[in-house]
């Protein structure tokens, strides 16, 4: 099978490419430097070059709270246009199946916990990442519309917060776990963290997410979105304390309550994924963090400036 992975040089994409190669599949890897998918002509050229039967659209412009606050227009535009172009060009080139990666950020700010797929439209996303979340959620509408009108076999998955080796450790754009690992590795005396530590998150190890993508590509063919997660809810404060323990940080953690907390709670109901295509996350948070920290220590300083 001819497989195309957009964002194949990024965090999630590189792990998917590695897994495919381990199964003797050599995917066509689309990187940002070669194809600007916000441009329709580049997306069309990519589909011509790759001639895929299966597309994993993982390319995204994404970051933590600070990056979302600094780039709301860019994150809305880039993610919406990349997805729209990939949908249209996949239709025009007769791609047999398209797997779209959504985001937990698409859920309403105050969605009942655990988040269930049927509540996706019951409110507006948390303000700091709403442009990104709304752009991704719009692609679900497009995927369902293309399936209805054109018969395009497109599925839409909603991974929770990802982490793992090769994550983005740039403090300007990173998410919570890589930011904590880097700060606590570089600042032995004190780290300043945004908010008050009370919000909760759910973390999915990147290799588990890859397993979910592959299982869905093989076994799932329906218009409804599907969560990919662990079902384990952990507060930012608990996360910081666990990272501190594993890194060996003995300094002071200072909570800057003048900065936003972000969404109050995040935890997914992943039962639909288990029922429909047999997905279950298998990596406990402590084990995943140990692997991520080990990779960071072996890869710094390159990891500190890596970008998705």
Distance between alpha carbon 115 and the CA centroid of its chain, in Å?
16
* pLDDT per residue rounded down to tens, the chain (308 residues): 999 999 999 999 999 999 999 999 999 999 999 999 999 999 999 999 999 999 999 999 988 888 999 999 999 999 999 999 999 999 999 999 999 999 999 999 999 999 999 999 999 999 999 999 999 999 999 999 999 999 999 999 999 999 999 999 999 889 999 999 999 999 889 999 999 999 999 999 999 999 999 999 999 999 999 999 999 999 999 999 999 999 999 999 999 999 999 899 999 999 999 999 999 999 999 999 999 999 999 997 665 544 33
Residue 90's alpha-carbon distances to 32, 47, 80, 231, 294, in angstroms, are 18, 7, 15, 33, 39
Q: Catalytic one among 35, 75, 107, 132? A: 132
**pLDDT for 301:** 63
Tell me what pLDDT residue 132 has.
97
107 flagged as catalytic:
no
Res 308: pLDDT: 33
Contacts (Cβ under 8 Å, ≥6 apart) of 66: 172, 173, 194
Q: Does the domain made of 3-167+203-233+265-284 have the CATH classification 3.40.50.720? A: yes
pTM of the model: 0.94
Task: Provide the 3-class DSSP secondary structure of residue 16.
Answer: helix
Task: State CA 79 to chain mean position distance.
Answer: 12
């Amino acid at each position: 099978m001819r497989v195309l992975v957009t964002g194949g040089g990024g965090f999630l994409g590189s792990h998917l490419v590695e897994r495919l190669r381990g199964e003797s599949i050599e995917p066509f890897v689309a990187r940002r430097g070669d194809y600007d998918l916000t441009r329709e002509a580049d997306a069309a050229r990519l589909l011509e070059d790759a001639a895929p039967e299966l597309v994993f659209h993982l390319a995204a412009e994404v970051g933590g709270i600070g990056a979302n606050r600094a780039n709301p227009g860019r994150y809305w535009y880039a993610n919406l246009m990349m997805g729209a172009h990939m949908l249209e060009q996949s239709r025009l080139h007769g791609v047999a199946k398209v797997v779209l990666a959504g985001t937990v950020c698409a859920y309403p700010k105050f969605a009942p916990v655990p988040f269930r797929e049927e509540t996706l439209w019951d409110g507006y996303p948390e303000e700091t990442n709403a442009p990104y979340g709304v752009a991704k959620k719009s692609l679900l509408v497009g995927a369902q519309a293309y399936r209805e009108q054109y018969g395009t076999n497109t599925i839409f998955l909603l991974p929770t917060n990802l982490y793992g080796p090769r994550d983005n450790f740039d403090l300007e754009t990173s998410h919570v776990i890589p930011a904590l690992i880097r700060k606590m590795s570089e600042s032995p005396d004190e780290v300043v963290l945004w908010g008050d530590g009370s919000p909760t998150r759910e973390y999915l190890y990147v290799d588990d997410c890859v397993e979910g993508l592959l299982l869905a590509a093989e076994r799932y063919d329906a218009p409804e979105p599907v969560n990919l997660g662990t079902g384990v809810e952990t507060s930012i404060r608990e996360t910081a304390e666990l990272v501190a323990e594993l890194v060996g940080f003995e300094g002071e953690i200072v909570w800057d309550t003048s900065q936003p907390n972000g969404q109050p709670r995040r935890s997914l109901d992943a039962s639909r994924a288990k029922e429909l295509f047999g997905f279950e996350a298998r990596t406990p948070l402590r084990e995943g963090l140990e692997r991520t920290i080990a990779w960071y220590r072996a890869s710094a300083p390159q990891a500190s400036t890596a970008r998705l």
